[in-house]
Chains A and B, each alone.
Chain A
C-alpha cells in the first residue's frame, strides 16, 4: 500500500518552522479522515497537524521537542490505492523550486488546458507591458535570487505573451550559459560595471576636434622628466575648468553643484579594469612636477593601492586612448563627473600651411569631450575644447 507523507504545514503566513510537542496517535493506529495526529507549537500558538487522507499510521520520522521547517516530512500514513488515486496524492505537492526546470506539472496541465487558456484569456497587454521591457514580479524575484541585474535579463528573447520574457525563457537562457566556460568576475570588474551602469543613466554626448601635438612634443623636450601628452591635456583641462567651473558642475535635483577645487583624474589601465588616480587642485600645480607624481600614481595603481590624496573624487577626467593606437572614442565620464576628455593616437597628417602655400606634415591627434548633456550644451563644451586647444597650442603657459 502506498505511503503518503505527513507534512509540516505552514501554520501562519510568517511561520517558517514549528516544534513537535506531542504525537497524539500511535504507529499502527487506524487514522480517520481529518484526524489530528501531531501537536506542534509555533511562536504564536499550539496547533494540530492532520493527515492528507485516512489510513494506517505507518511511522513518525519527526521527534518530540524537535523543530522542523514548513514542508518537512513528519511521518507517513499508509493509504489505500483508491484514496491515493481519488485524492491525487501520488504526486508530491508542487513546491517553489520545482517551478523551474522540466516541470511535470506543466506537462499534465497542458493535457487539460490549451496554451491559450493560460494567456489571460488572450486579453490585450497594456502599452509598456510588452517584450523584454516588462519583467514580471516572478522574474524579478528570480533575478534577485540569482544576484543578476535586471538589465542582464533584457538580452533574453521572450516567448511569452507580447514577447515577454517568461521565467522559463530565463531559466533556459541560464541553462545555456551554464554550458559555456565561465569564471567569477573580479571585484574590480564588478566595480567598473556598476560605475558604468550608474554613469549610463545620463544623456551623454561626445564631440571631437583634431589638434596639433607639435607644440607639446617640442615643449616636453625642455622638461626632465618629460610629461606625457595626457598630463598636458590634464593640466590644460584644469586651467580651462578653473576659468569655466560651471562646465564641470553637476546637476543634482534642481541644483547646479559647482566644484570646490579643480581635481582632475587620469585613467590608467590595470589588469581587469581601469583606475583613475586624481591630481588634486591641478590648476595650481606646476606642469614640471606632474611626471614624478604620475609615476608614483602609476606604480600604486598597478598595485591597486592608490595613495589617499589620489583617491578623492575628481571633477573631470582625462583618458589617453591614443596609447592603444585608437583614433577616436566616446569614453564615459564617471558617475560623479560631468565630463571626460580623450586623446587619440598621434600620427603625421598633411596640414595646409597657409603662409607657405603647401601641405606640410604635422603630428596630429583627435581630442574628444564626452559630457552630461543635461548640464552643458554643445556650445559650452565647444568653447571649453577651443580653450583647451589654445592652451595646448602654447604649452609654455601651462
Chain B
C-alpha cells in the first residue's frame, strides 16, 4: 500500500556522478562551517537576534540547491544554509545579514533568516510556516504569465509546517494549477519542541501527496546519495510537466530549534537510530569508500571552507551597520517598488 502511495519512486534514476556528489558535499561542508561560525559569533555577542542552524539537514538542502538551475525559484527555510549557498547566495551576504549590515539583502532591516533577493528568484524565508509555498507558487504563476516554461520552483518546509492551513491551501492550489513546484518536507522529528506523535496522525507525511493529487517521494535525509537521486528525479519530473512534487525527507535535527534552545526535550534515543546519523559524516565515509576523496583531500576541503568563511566574516565586519536614523521605514510595496525589486 505505502509503496504505491510513494510512486513514482526511483523509476529510472540516473546514477549520481562523482562530480555531482562532490559538489553537493562541498556545499554541505561549507554550510556546516558557516553555521559553526555563526554559532560562535552569536555566543561572542556579535550577532543579535536568533541564530538557526541546519545541522543534520545539509544533505537534503544541498541536494535540492544543486538541482536548481539559474532562473529557477527557491524559497528556503531556516535550515537551508546548504541549499542557499548551492543556489548562489554569497558567503558575505550570510554574514552581512547576521551582523545587520546596511549592505545586507535586507539592508539591515531584518536579521538572520529572513533574507532573499526576489529579483534573483530567491525568496526570503517567511516565519509564518506554509506561506512560503504560496509565494513560490505565485512566482511560478507569474513566470507562466510571462511565458517562461522552463523554470521550476522549490521550497522547504518542516514536519510542523505541514500542519498549517497555509500548507494545505498552497499545495492544493499548486496541484490544481499543475505548477512545476517541488515542496520538500524535511521531517526532522520535532516542530520546535513538538514531536511527530503530537504533530500528525498519518503514518508517513508522504501519504498526503495522494490526497492533494501530487506525486510523492520519500528519502533518507542522512544519505546524500539518496537525496541526490530522489531530488534529482523530483526536480526532473517537475521540470517535465508532471506538476507539483512532494518530497518527504526523514532526518533528525542535530541542534536546538535555535542556538538559544538546548533541546533538552528531545528523545535521546533517537540519536542512536539511523535517523540520528550525521549526514556530513556519512557523506565523508561514502566519499572514501568510493575512493572519490581521501583523507588529505577532505582535510583540504575543510581548510578551504574555513578560510572562505573566516575571510567573509572579516570582510563583513568592515561594513557599516544599518542606521535606523537613515532608514525610510517604508513597509508597503508600491507598484514601482514591486517592478524594481520584486519582479525579475
Residues in A neighbouring B37, C-beta threshold 8 A:
34
Residues in A neighbouring B294, C-beta threshold 8 A:
none
A112 within 8 A of B: yes
CB-contact partner of B332 in A47, A87, A126, A160, under 8 A: A126
* Interface segment out of the listed A11-19, A186-194, A328-336, A351-359: A11-19
B303 within 8 A of A: no
A106 and B325 within 8 A (CB): yes
Using an 8 Å CB-CB cutoff, how does the interface string of B309-339 with A read, 1 for contact, 0 for none?
0100110011111011111111010101100
A293 within 8 A of B: no
B313 and A49 within 8 A (CB): no
A213 within 8 A of B: no
CA–CA, A224 and B330, complex, Å = 69
Q: Are A119 and B328 CB-contacts (below 8 A) given A99-B323, A109-B320, A124-B336?
A: yes
Interface size on A, residues (CB 8 A): 59
A45 and B261 within 8 A (CB): yes
Using an 8 Å CB-CB cutoff, how does the interface string of A37-70 with B read, 1 for contact, 0 for none?
0000010111111111000000000000000001
B325 and A100 within 8 A (CB): yes
A168 and B325 within 8 A (CB): yes
Q: Are A166 and B50 CB-contacts (below 8 A) given A9-B43, A10-B45?
A: no
A129 and B332 within 8 A (CB): yes
CA–CA, A52 and B44, complex, Å = 6
A109 and B340 within 8 A (CB): no
B262 within 8 A of A: yes
Q: Are A45 and B330 CB-contacts (below 8 A) given A34-B40, A71-B45, A99-B323?
A: no
B324 and A112 within 8 A (CB): no
Q: Are A121 and B340 CB-contacts (below 8 A) given A99-B324, A106-B326, A129-B330?
A: yes
Which among B314, B320, B325 has the highest number of chain A CB atoms within 10 Å? B325
Using a CB-CB cutoff of 8 Å, which residues 234-277 of chain A contact chain B?
A: none
CA–CA, A45 and B314, complex, Å = 30
CA–CA, A100 and B325, complex, Å = 8
CB-contact partner of A118 in B44, B49, B102, under 8 A: B102
B264 within 8 A of A: yes
- Contact residues of A: prevailing secondary structure: loop
CB-contact partner of A46 in B259, B262, B313, under 8 A: B262
Interface size on B, residues (CB 8 A): 43
CA–CA, A99 and B322, complex, Å = 10
B274 within 8 A of A: no
Q: Are A13 and B340 CB-contacts (below 8 A) given A7-B45, A44-B261?
A: no
Q: Are A9 and B320 CB-contacts (below 8 A) given A100-B325, A168-B325?
A: no
A26 within 8 A of B: no
A113 and B48 within 8 A (CB): no
Q: Are A103 and B45 CB-contacts (below 8 A) given A87-B317, A112-B320?
A: no
CB-contact partner of B336 in A123, A138, A160, under 8 A: A123
Q: Are A125 and B330 CB-contacts (below 8 A) given A9-B44, A71-B45?
A: yes
Q: Which residue of B lies closest to A15 (CB)?
A: B260
Q: Are A125 and B328 CB-contacts (below 8 A) given A34-B36, A45-B260, A108-B320?
A: yes
Q: Beyond A93-B46, A126-B332: 14 further Cβ-contacts under 8 Å? A: A9-B42, A9-B44, A10-B48, A34-B36, A45-B260, A47-B260, A86-B314, A88-B318, A118-B102, A121-B340, A121-B341, A125-B330, A136-B328, A166-B326
Q: What is the interface of chain B, defined by CB distance below 8 A to chain A? A: 36-37, 40-50, 102-103, 258-262, 264, 310, 313-314, 317-321, 323-330, 332, 334, 336-337, 340-341
Q: What is the interface of chain A, defined by CB distance below 8 A to chain B? A: 6-13, 15, 33-34, 36, 42, 44-52, 70-71, 86-89, 93-94, 99-100, 103, 105-106, 108-109, 112-113, 117-121, 123-126, 129, 136-138, 160-161, 164, 166-168, 171
